[in-house]
């Protein structure tokens, strides 16, 4: 009886020991897997940056690379068993999100578009991205904020240049452009510190400037013709006005001559009458 009881105790003890050993080994193996997954994921995150502090993006940063790292982080979270690794994964995820914002800014400032709508989108997106990175990645913000501001200047310059044209492709200058409008657009372009962009836009401004010059020349020619026509019309009216005056003078002269003639005739009639009366009186018998 004692032997059987002792045997039972030994069996139970061994069984419990085996379960404990198995659980311990399984737990250790699981923790090891979790640690390895987290380690591998965080090492992948490192490849998104050029510095250990993760303040500046890698030169070859791309959307595909960011998505690949994000996938590995997701897999590591699925294997997570220890709370201590959760903080590491959260920090790694924050870096992945920051890399996305960095890529947005890098792509925006690298664009050479002259389309106003595209520039508005790029400027807005890059400014928003810098705002998101202000606290977490101050070195990146400091390195890129001038270039983002330059992008905003490009948008402003294109807006001024676009106001000179009727089409978004800058092919048809507006009618009636003034030299002042062209100079305003040129001043906005000179404010942009990007020679490549300036080289793209200067020929477009030259087109608008030529159109403004042509319009001014046409306007001056039209004004000159109107002035000449006005002077001719005035001279014609003056000539027409003087002609009736001359006619009136001639008529008055003729009327005066006729009056004098009639007066002379009336004076000669009494004289003849007197002569006739005297003649019979002078012949005495």
SS (H, E, C) 45-92: HHCCECCCCCCCECCCCCHHHHHHHHHHHHHHHHCCCCHHHHHHHHHH
Q: What is the pLDDT of residue 37?
A: 80
Give me the sign of the Cα torsion angle 54, 57, 58, 63: positive
For residue range 190-217, list pLDDT tens digits in order: 999 989 999 999 999 999 999 998 877 7
pLDDT band at 78 (very low <50, low <70, confident <90, very high): confident
Q: What is the pLDDT of residue 38?
A: 86
Distance separating alpha carbons of residues 22 and 143, to the nearest angstrom = 54
Percentage of residues in the chain having pLDDT higher than 90: 52
> How much is the average pLDDT of 26-39?
63
Specify whether the CB–CB gap between 204 and 170 falls below 8 A: yes
∠ CA(259), CA(265), CA(270), 5° rounding? 135
Ranked by mean pLDDT, the top range of 8-12, 50-54, 112-116, 249-253 is: 50-54
pLDDT band at 77 (very low <50, low <70, confident <90, very high): confident
pLDDT band at 25 (very low <50, low <70, confident <90, very high): very low
Q: What is the pLDDT of residue 103?
A: 98
For residue range 121-149, list pLDDT tens digits in order: 999 999 999 999 999 999 999 999 999 99
| Lowest mean pLDDT, pick from 3-17, 65-79, 81-95, 249-263 | 249-263
For residue range 235-272, list pLDDT tens digits in order: 555 555 444 444 444 444 444 444 444 444 344 333 33
Instruction: Round the average pLDDT of the chain to a whole number and report it.
Output: 77
Q: Does the predicted TM-score (pTM) go above 0.75?
A: no
Distance separating alpha carbons of residues 87 and 99, to the nearest angstrom = 18
Q: What is the pLDDT of residue 64?
A: 97
């Amino acid at each position: 009886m004692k032997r059987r009881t002792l045997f039972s105790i030994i069996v139970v003890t061994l069984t419990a020991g085996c379960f404990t050993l198995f659980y311990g080994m399984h737990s250790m193996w699981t923790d090891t897997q979790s640690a390895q997954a987290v380690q591998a994921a965080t090492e992948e995150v490192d490849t998104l940056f050029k510095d250990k502090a993760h303040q500046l993006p890698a030169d070859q940063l791309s959307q595909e690379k960011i998505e690949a790292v994000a996938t590995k982080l997701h897999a590591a979270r699925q294997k997570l068993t220890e709370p201590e690794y959760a903080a590491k994964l959260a920090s790694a995820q924050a870096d992945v999100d920051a890399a996305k914002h960095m890529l947005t800014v890098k792509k925006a400032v690298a664009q050479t578009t002259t389309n106003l709508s595209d520039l508005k989108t790029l400027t807005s997106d890059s400014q928003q991205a810098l705002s998101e990175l202000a606290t977490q990645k101050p070195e990146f913000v400091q390195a890129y904020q001038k270039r983002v501001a330059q992008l905003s200047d490009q948008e402003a310059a294109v807006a001024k240049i676009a106001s000179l044209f009727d089409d978004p492709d800058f092919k048809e200058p507006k009618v009636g452009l003034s030299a002042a409008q062209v100079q305003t657009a040129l001043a906005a372009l000179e404010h942009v510190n990007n020679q490549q962009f300036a080289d793209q836009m200067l020929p477009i401004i030259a087109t608008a400037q030529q159109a403004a010059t042509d319009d001014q020349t046409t306007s001056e020619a039209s004004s000159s013709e109107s002035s000449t026509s006005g002077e001719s019309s005035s001279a014609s009216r003056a000539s027409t006005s003087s002609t009736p005056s001359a006619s009136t003078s001639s008529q008055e002269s003729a009327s005066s001559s006729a009056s004098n003639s009639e007066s002379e005739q009336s004076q000669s009639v009494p004289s003849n009458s007197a002569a006739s009366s005297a003649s019979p009186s002078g012949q005495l018998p």
